[in-house]
Structure 1
Amino acid sequence: MAEVRKNTVHPLHIEGYTAEGMGVARLDGRVVFIPGTIRGEDWEVQLLKVNKGVAWGKGTRLISPSPVRQEPDCPYSGRCGGCQYRHMSYEEELAAKGQRVRDALERVGGVHLELPPVLGAESPLRYRNKVQFPVSRGKCGLSIGFYRPRSHDVVDTEDCLLQPEADTALRLAFKGWMEDFQIPAYDECTGRGLIRHLYIRTNRAGEALCCVVANGKELPHTGELSGALRAAVPKLAGLVLNVNLRDTNVILGDAYRTLWGRDWLEEELCGLTFRLSVPSFFQINRDQTERLYQLALEFAGLTGEETVLDLYCGIGTISLCLARLAGHVIGAEVVPQAIEDARANALRNGVTNAEFFCGDAGEVAARLAGQGVRPQVICVDPPRKGLAPEVPAVLASMAPDRIVYVSCDPATLARDVKRLEELGYRAVQAQPVDLFPRTAHVETVLRMER
């Protein structure tokens, strides 16, 4: 038996993938995780870290390559933590994501469904409508880009194949402004410096909204900055300052000030128009989001008479789509600004059968249940951590006929599905959708019935 310790090298066969997109092999009873590998391949692997039941390694020699292996089309692949699947075909990536959803539902949720193939994007390139660049200055100078895997070291990224070319031009202009006027980058270790992040939102019309996240209440040379950004992208809609003075990893602070132009963009989704400010939550892949929401509508099975409760409704995107086919929609969201946006979006689109409440999802649902509200359909689209522990019981107490769960994390989806099954609901249909090509993330729509 080979000695299993740090820095030893072993021939390993890749059997599958982790949730983060790493290859999985086995060695003397241990599971070994190896990034950049593909199932079916044989590698010589150097162990970097060894625990009792698990180890991490790096491939040092590819013995037998997979036919779906391809040369990464991005020069930052492996150095930047944004993408996990650029070394394989898109078809293999979709298969890996489908297996991830299936494994979670079966192993965590105890649910066995006939899961259709993941709905892939027509193009896995330049789909992101929002980008947040961390800014740092180190030994190699000013860096504006993305973090290295599992670190806060910033990789200076001239271009990213997930973002529109307008973002690339704006980043270059912004970096030039910082260098020309010697604007200091924020230092996480000391809490000093000014520029923390450059945030860019774009829409289908080609407009861009720029936000500078700063460790200060003023920006110097704002006229020169707005001029440089407008020269780079003539369709710049506005330039906004966000003030974040806290010692935190949270990107945005609470205070905003418009430096030039306007502080919002409009975007069309599913035939509806939404106004997006900097903090507005909006899915980053517009085309795939339309497919996701269409599935949610189909799973809801609306006839025009139902009352629908939409929890974690954000700025009302799913709520307003549901309202076109429902009798009445009630949306709930904990973020006050999002609820203001949702109400404004309802007015903007002439939707009169939707109302919105601000509050924690569980508390709002419990309050409505106490008032005798009995929705026939409940739709939930929670954050990555899934439903709060008390929410499944509250949903079940309202006795809806159907629950539609839109999930961005298969593990928490499976956990919550198991909770709901214990409360009298059965998973009957699911469909994964790839909203984030080339990354390890996958969305799933699932329908449960009482």
Structure 2
Amino acid sequence: MPGALPGEEIVAEATKVHPKFAEAKIKKIRKQSEHRIKPLCPVYDQCGGCQLQHLRYDQQLNEKRDIVIQALERHTKLKIDELEIRPTIGMENPWGYRNKSQFQVGEKDGKVLAGLYGLNSHNLINIEQCAVQHPATSKATEVVKGILQDLKIPIYNEKKHKGLVRTIVARTGVQTGELQIVLITTKKELPKKDIIIQEIKKRLPKVNSIVQNINGEKTSVIFGNDTATLEGSDFIQETLGDLQFELSARTFFQLNPEQTVKLYNEAKSAAMLTGKEKLVDAYCGVGTIGLWMADQAGEVRGMDVIPESIEDAKKNAEKHGVKHARFYMGKAEELLPKWLKEGWRPDVIVVDPPRTGCDEEFLKTVLKIKPKTFVYVSCNPSTLAKDIMTLGSQYKVEYIQPVDMFPHTSQIESVTRLVLK
């Protein structure tokens, strides 16, 4: 029931009845929660980007811990009252934290709009000031929107599958102040390209990377396969703690750098490293977690199935002089047994899988290899709970630490320390 809060008494109308649950909308709030507040954002109820702006932030942290508990109750047989589920780590200032925006572009009455599609619809909600976006990305999107308007550049119409510019992506290095603009277009030919570049540079002096990505498909996927740098560098730099990363247009990078540092520190402390351990960073991406822990590990091996990520991970290790970290292209469930045959067994495995959770074959491999410690960084409590069930035959949950990476949304990350029984 969107918009309702725990403990409230409401009159609701069922909108959709599923076999195991029903969806409903609020008609009237009879008794409202003491934690209910007025949302900060004017289009909060339309855009669907945030789900919890009407709940006081300290209470959001309590309810997010409860989301983790509910997932464990639903998908595991663990005794919840015997588990250590710690209070959620939040932000001091939970606004303006997102370092990247991907706003769809549209046109209405001759005016260029940029924003997100409304809740369960394809109505474009124009967003001029997003409360959770970093101010630099909001300003950049507004400026680029104005340039497209002034130069009368054709805007993509999704229904007719005609037009040119479909998305404006803006990303800022929160620590470095660098700015990258990506224009996603349906075709390579961009009219008035030189003037667009000139205007962006003039109106946004901090821009040091202007990129075009071509996506001509009828799809809701944002990026296409062809990317070309129009001006400046191919990437922007960002800093996390003592580590520096190069972010190209399509590189995955955490959207909330301030909380990422807290999340990675929690993962590091859950690994309880002494400087001697062999550490595996599965699903390593550009090597962030493995490199974050490298100063306390004897040897780090990371793996991923995306070749560009492995190239970036190798470059990042070299740049930071981390000689005892190696990164491999491939699946953990294939590489780990091979290393075991060669006589190499990890003491600690750390994972940060996608929302779908860990691959089943990978978990079976972990149960065969039996590292002493397994650190699970999760962005989805339901798949975390299911994976804990799979590992439960041999691993005990020592504690779970929720971390709020996305204030005002219903998403919650967590770090779980599992030890061999």
- TM-score for the superposition, normalised by structure 1: 0.89
1:130 paired with 2:100, answer yes
How far does residue 362 in structure 1 lie from its aligned partner after superposition?
Answer: 2.6
Deviation at 1:192, TM superposition (A): 2.6
Equivalent in the alignment of 1:345: 316
Q: Name the SS for the 1:346 alignment partner.
A: helix
**2:243 pairs with one of 259, 272, 290:** 272
Q: In 2, are the aligned partners of 1:136 and 1:142 still within 8 Å (CA)? A: yes
Provide structure 1 residue ranges, at least 5 long, that are not aligned to the other structure: 1-33
1:151-191 CA-to-partner distances (Å, cap 9, x unmatched) read 33321111101112221221112112222232223333443
- Which of 78, 82, 92 is matched with 2:49 structurally? 82
Matched with 1:104 is 71
Query: Cα offset for 1:250?
Result: 1.9
Pick aligned residue for 1:230 from 186, 194, 201: 201
Q: Cα deviation per residue 1:194-231 (whole Å; 9 max; x = unaligned)?
A: 11211111112222111111111132222222233233
Q: Partners of 1:188 and 1:370 in 2: how far apart? A: 53
Give the letter for the 1:333 counterpart. Answer: D
Correspondence 1:56-71 to 2 at 5 A: 56-71=23-38
Say if 1:166 and 1:233, in contact at 8 Å, map to a contact too: no
1:263 aligned partner, one-letter code: D
Q: Percent identity?
A: 39
User: Are positions 1:335 and 2:302 aligned together?
Assistant: no
Greater relative contact order structure (CA < 8 Å, 6+ sep): 2
| 1:169–1:232 Cα contact (<8 Å) kept | no
- Retained in 1: the 8 A contact 2:99–2:137? no
Contact persistence 1:209–1:263 (CA under 8 A): no
Alignment partner of 1:42 is 2:4? no
Residue in 2 that maps onto 1:199? 169
- Counterpart pick for 2:118 among 148, 152, 171: 148
Q: Is the 8 A contact 1:331 1:355 kept in 2?
A: yes
Counterpart residue type for residue 42 of structure 1: E
CA distance in 2, matches of 1:140, 1:389: 51
Q: Is the 8 A contact 2:106 2:157 kept in 1?
A: yes
Aligned to 2:276: 305
Query: Greater share of helix residues, 1 or 2?
Result: 2
Cα contact 2:178–2:237 (8 A) shared by 1:
no
Alignment match, 2:356: 385
Work out whether residues 396 and 418 of structure 2, in 8 Å CA contact, stay in contact via their aligned partners in 1. Answer: yes
Distance 2:332 2:188 in 1: 34
In the TM superposition, 1:49-448 aligns within 5 A as: 49-51=16-18, 53-111=20-78, 112=80, 113-137=83-107, 141-203=111-173, 204-422=175-393, 424-448=394-418
Structure 2 CA distance, aligned partners of 1:247 and 1:275? Answer: 31
Question: Whole-Å Cα distance in 1 between the matches of residues 156 and 332 of structure 2?
Answer: 35
* C-alpha separation in 2, matches of 1:70 and 1:140: 36
Secondary structure of the structure 1 residue equivalent to 2:317: helix
Is the 1:427–1:447 contact (alpha carbons within 8 Å) kept by the matching residues of 2? Answer: yes
Separation (CA, whole Å) in 1 of partners of 2:197 and 2:350: 42
From the superposition, tell whether residues 370 and 153 of structure 1 become closer, same or farther in structure 2 (CA, over 3 Å). Answer: farther
CA distances 1:117-142 after superposition (whole Å, capped 9, x unpaired): 11011111000111111123356853
Contact 1:320 1:346 (C-alpha < 8 Å) held by counterparts: yes
Which runs of no fewer than 5 residues in structure 2 stay unpaired?
Answer: none
Does the residue aligned with 2:166 lie in a helix, a strand or coil?
A: strand
Name the amino acid aligned to 1:389. E
CA distance in 2, matches of 1:50, 1:107: 20
Matched with 1:3 is none
Alignment partners' CA distance in 2, 1:52 and 1:443? 29
1:328 shift after superposition: 0.5
Q: Is the 8 A contact 1:362 1:390 kept in 2?
A: yes
Q: Is the 8 A contact 1:134 1:196 kept in 2?
A: yes
Count matched residues: 416
Change (3 A) 1:243 1:72: same
1:261 and 1:141, CA in 2 relative to 1: closer, same or farther beyond 3 A? same
1:245 Cα deviation (Å)? 2.4
Q: Which amino acid aligns with 1:36?
A: G
Q: CA deviation at 1:316?
A: 0.7
Amino acid at match of 1:364: L
The Cα of 1:53 is off from its aligned counterpart by: 4.8
| Paired residues of 2:179 and 2:208 also in contact (CA < 8 A) | yes
Letter in structure 1 aligned against 2:169: Y
Q: Is contact 1:306-1:376 (8 Å) kept?
A: yes
Cα contact 1:210–1:240 (8 A) shared by 2: yes
